[in-house]
């Protein structure tokens, strides 16, 4: 895997959260999804810098939605994985899986 496509742990978490959320992935829902699935409460600074970085790397795309009153009339920025992002997360997860093969970890099972 080229170094340019290597993903950090939090980048993988964010990409997987976006993947899980589908069409409803924006800052608030991504943070909530990470919290639900991992128990982490990501700091806004960490989340938005990671989203910016992933977009700069060309792994995700973003589009502006419609403004809503509960957001003070500000639009949501929806994120979506593109083909490059999907390939990167698949490669990263395959690497983890290869590392886990043969390891005996309690309460960890791979389907």
Partner 1 sequence: MRSVHIAERILALVTTPDRAASTVGDLTEQSATRGMPWFWSGLFRTAASLPWRDVAENPARVTGLAFLCLAVGIGLDLLFACLTGIAFLGVALASGHPLHVESLGWRIWFAVPMLVCPLFIGWMLARRAPGRELPACLVYAILVSIYNLVPMFGNNGTFPNTLCILLVLAGAAWGRSRRLAATRRQAL
**How many other C-beta atoms are found inside a 10 Å radius of the C-beta of residue 88?**
25
The reply to whether 28 sits near partner 1 by the rule CB under 8 A is yes
Residues in region 35-54 near partner 1 by CB under 8 A: 43-46, 48-49, 52-53
Q: Is 14 in the site for partner 1 (CB under 8 A)?
A: no
CA distance 72 to 68: 7
| Residues forming a β-bridge with 68 | 74
Rank residues 62 and 93 by Cβ distance to partner 1 and give the closer one.
62
Residue 40, helix vs strand vs coil: coil
Q: Footprint of partner 1 on this chain (CB under 8 A)?
A: 26-28, 31, 43-46, 48-49, 52-53, 56, 64, 67-68, 70-72, 74-77
């Amino acid at each position: 895997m080229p170094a340019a496509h290597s993903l950090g742990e939090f980048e993988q978490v964010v990409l997987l959260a976006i993947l899980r959320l589908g069409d409803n992935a924006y800052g608030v829902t991504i943070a909530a999804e990470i919290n639900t699935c991992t128990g982490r409460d990501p700091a806004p600074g960490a989340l938005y810098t990671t989203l910016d970085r992933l977009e700069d790397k060309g792994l995700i795309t973003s589009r502006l939605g419609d403004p809503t009153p509960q957001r003070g009339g500000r639009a949501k920025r929806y994120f979506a994985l593109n083909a490059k992002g999907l390939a990167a997360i698949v490669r990263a997860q395959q690497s983890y899986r290869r590392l886990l093969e043969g390891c005996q970890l309690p309460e960890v099972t791979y389907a």
